[in-house]
Structure 1
Amino acid sequence: RLSQLIQADGRCLFLPIDHGYFQGPTYKLEEPGKTIEPLLPYADGIFVTRGVLRSSIDPKKSKPIILRVSGGTSMVGNDLAHEGITTSMEEAIRLNVAAVGLSIFVGTDYEHDSLLNLAKLVDEGERYGIPVMAVTAVGKELEKRNARYLVLCSRIAAELGARIVKTYYCEGFEKVVGGCPVPVVIAGGPKADTELEVFEFVYDGIQ
């Protein structure tokens, strides 16, 4: 299943359209199926919740699926870090996904819960041959997106059995990749003023 997502050269491009699970209908994702359709030829996988997968993704045109299986919080709630597991591994099997993904919140009040969620999900995934992608989430504390913090999060995720780690691009990103023994994918990066700046940090991250 992992080989469906990561190409022979070790690279991949995922389309994450799971934002609605805590943000609601964000700009350009009001109709996620229409938004991603022209992008599908360039993607290796789609990161999506089961609700949007069933309602908006055409299985005849789709790419391998990474199923978002954590949630239970929202932007208007008290703490985005207080997530739980929202989808069973049996459901993931029924949906024929290539992997499942969940967020971990290192350094928050719910660090312990989110890391045990990861460990439990890895156990279940290994039982059925489904890899787990860990997302190093920061909730509303965006200032945490630095190399020292992200290298810690990424290594912990790998140590607990994640097969892929999705984390933020940051200055010193090579330290994050160097300290993580499993494939790392970039979740996003610093706010950019121009399109060129976006291409530059994406290029640097790939290198």
Structure 2
Amino acid sequence: MADTDDLREARDFAGPRTTTAGGFHVKGAQAQDWGLQNRLSRIFRRDTGRTVMLAFDHGYFLGPMAGLERLDATIAPLVPDADAIMMTRGALRTSIPPHSEAGIVLRASGGPSVLRDLSDEHLALDIEDAVRLNAAALAIQVFIGAEHESRSVRNLAALVDAGQRHGIAVLGVTAVGKDMVRDARYFRLATRISAEMGAHVVKTYYVEQGFETVTAGCPVPIIVAGGKKLPELDALTMAYRSIQEGAAGVDMGRNIFQSEHPAAMLAAVRAVVHDQVKPEEAYELFRGLAADSASA
């Protein structure tokens, strides 16, 4: 067993990784099979290496939260402007048109509702159903530091094994309990464990201090969770800083579908992520598109 008595703080990160190896545009995937690389290319744009993912999988433990009461009415119209969409298989089959071109990221873990301990999750999707649904990736929560940490890591490993057999990527989501410290040291630990266990992409939270060490220390792409609803300028600022500090994209839900003008907000986020437009300029884009929509 490794000695844990004299763990030293890691510090030699040399800044965020900005290039990929082997000529493939997704970090850490240069040695993967053709099929898996093709699926990753449905998520990450080849010209930028980044993604804007629209998340609306919240219903699997929260039910019909604000903005997600009618997926067919509020979410389906946004899908054409997202690079990838993250949802449950039930939401995909019932509410998303089959001609959609966005990369499909399916929620693969679940179990407890918001009324119980969320870390008590299990695998909740068969790999054959993911193949039937033409999934590009499968998303699973990893609860580092929570009561059911070991099970969640085992779930991740099992999903990676299944994904590798079928050429489907796995997105490890670093779940953070309300009592956990959200700092760079914790996220370096949680993201690195997910990548070391085989996740092809990791989703985590942005922190203002040291986030560049989180992205530098993770050998696969990190995408940033939007988290709770923020004022639009604040959300765009978080997205911009994330990209500047090494993230390969954002996975936003509430900051898009709970905006008064979701389509305008999605367009502004795309400008930040793919065109590196500064937050203030993106916010003006949002306001202009919102005004046009209101007057239409």
* CA–CA separation in structure 1 for the residues paired with 2:181 and 2:86: 23
- Aligned-pair distance for 1:62? 4.8
What corresponds to 2:247 in structure 1? Answer: none
Q: 1:91 matched to which residue of 2?
A: 129
Partner residue in 2 for 1:174: 212
Q: Secondary structure at the match of 2:206?
A: coil
Q: Is the 8 A contact 1:103 1:114 kept in 2?
A: yes
1:82 pairs with 2:120: yes
Query: Within 5 Å, which residues of 2 pair with 1:140-155?
Result: 140-141=178-179, 143-155=180-192
Equivalent position of 1:41 in the other structure: 80
Percent identical residues: 51
1:12 correspondence with 2:51: yes
Query: Is 1:117 paired with 2:148?
Result: no
The reply to whether residue 133 of structure 1 matches residue 171 of structure 2 is yes
- Segments of 5+ residues of structure 2 without an aligned counterpart are 1-38, 245-296
1:52, distance to aligned residue in structure 2 (A): 0.7
Q: Which amino acid aligns with 1:148?
A: R
SS of aligned partner of 1:18:
coil
Q: Please give the secondary structure, in 2, of the residue aligned with 1:13.
A: strand
Q: Does 1:201 align with 2:201?
A: no
Judge conservation of contact 2:42–2:102 (CA < 8 Å) in 1. Answer: no
Structure 1 residue 198 displacement after superposition = 1.8
The DSSP-based 3-state class of the residue aligned with 1:15 is strand
1:42-87 Cα deviation digits (max 9, x unpaired): 211110101111111111235221010100011112x111100001
1:150 is aligned with what amino acid? F
Please give the alpha-carbon distance, in whole angstroms, between the structure 2 residues aligned to 1:131 and 1:140: 28
- Find 1:24's aligned residue among 48, 54, 63: 63
Q: TM-score, normalised by structure 1?
A: 0.93
Equivalent position of 1:2 in the other structure: 40
Unaligned runs of 5+ in 1: none
Q: CA deviation at 1:191?
A: 6.9
For 1:26 and 1:50, locate their aligned partners in 2 and report how far apart those are by CA, in whole Å.
18
Contact 1:189 1:201 in 2 (8 A): no
The C-alpha deviation readout for 1:79-127, integer Å capped at 9, x for no partner, is: 1111000011011011111111100000011000000100111011000
Helix, strand or coil for the counterpart of 1:101? strand
Greater RCO, CA 8 A, separation 6+: 2
Give the direction of change, closer, same or farther, for the CA distance of 1:124–1:61 in structure 2 (3 Å limit).
closer
Question: Is residue 4–residue 98 contact of structure 1 (8 Å, CA) maintained in 2?
Answer: yes
Name the Cα RMSD after superposition.
1.5
Question: Which of 130, 142, 145 is equivalent to 1:107?
Answer: 145
The TM-score with structure 2 as length reference comes to: 0.66
CA contact (8 A) 1:22 1:74 kept: yes
SS for the counterpart of 2:51 is: coil
